[in-house]
Structure 1
Amino acid sequence: MELERLKMAVLLTVIIGGILHIQISDAQKQNRHIVGDSVDWTIPPDDNTYITWAASQKFAIGDTLVFNFESELHTVAEVTEAAYNECNSQNPISEWTKGPASVPLKSSGKHYYLCSVPGHCMAAQKLAINV
C-alpha cells in the first residue's frame, strides 16, 4: 500500500513538473520589443532607422511592441498595407495616443504602424513587421 502511494506521488510530481516547465517555457518565448531601441518612437534620424531595427528582431505571437513616445507629440496607429504605403492614418485598425504604448502581437503575418501626426509618417516614422 505504501509503495503504491509513493509511486502515485512520484507520478504526480513528474506531471506537475512537466506542466510547470511548459508554462515557464511559453512565458520565456514572449518578448517585449522596444521599438527603435534608444531612438524610441519619434521622427527617426534617417529613413532606414525602423527598417533596420525591424530586420534585427524576431517577432512572435504573444510578443509586445513597446512604443516609447511623449503623449501629444506622437501616436501609434496600426493600419493596412495600402494605408502604410500612402501614409494614410484616416481609418486605422487601432490607435494609441498615450505613450508609452504597449501593443500586443496577437496574430501572424505582416503588421503596419505609423505615427498619425501630420508629416511624421512622411518623415519615416513608420514600422512594418512580420510576425
Structure 2
Amino acid sequence: MKEHIAAVHKQTIAQAAERLFLERGFDGTSISDICAASGYSRRTVYRYFDTKEEILYYIVANGLEQLRDRLTDIVQAEQPFLAKYEHICKAMRAYYEHCPVSARAVHQFQPKALETVTPTMEPFSL
C-alpha cells in the first residue's frame, strides 16, 4: 500500500513537471515551479526525486517503457508483417504525441550516441 501511495505521488509530480517542461522547457522550469504546479512542498518533491534531472529521467523512462510494452505486444501478435509494420508506425506516432517530453529527450541525445557507434562491417560497393 505504501509503495502504491509513493507511486501516485511520484506520478503527480512528474505529470506537473512534464507540463512545465513542455511549456517552458527544461532549463526554464525550476523545482519551485514544479512544487507549485504539483501542489507539493519542496521537501515532498525532494523526498521522491533528488534533482530536476531525476524527474526528467523518470518521465523519459516511463515513456520508453510504454513504447517498449506496446512494441512487444505488436511483435508477439499473430499478424502478417505489413499489419505489424502499420501498428509499429502507429505506436511510434502515439509515443511522440502522448509522451512528447520523453520523445524529445530521446531524440535530442540519440544522435550523439550514434557518433560513438563503430561499424561492424566494412562498406561495400556494387
Task: Name the TM-score class by shorter chain.
Answer: under 0.3
Q: By percentage of residues, which structure has more helix?
A: 2
TM-score of the aligned structures, taking structure 1 as reference length:
0.25
Q: By percentage of residues, which structure has more strand?
A: 1
With CA pairs under 8 Å and 6+ residues apart, which has the higher RCO, 1 or 2? 1
- Please say which structure displays the higher CA radius of gyration: 1
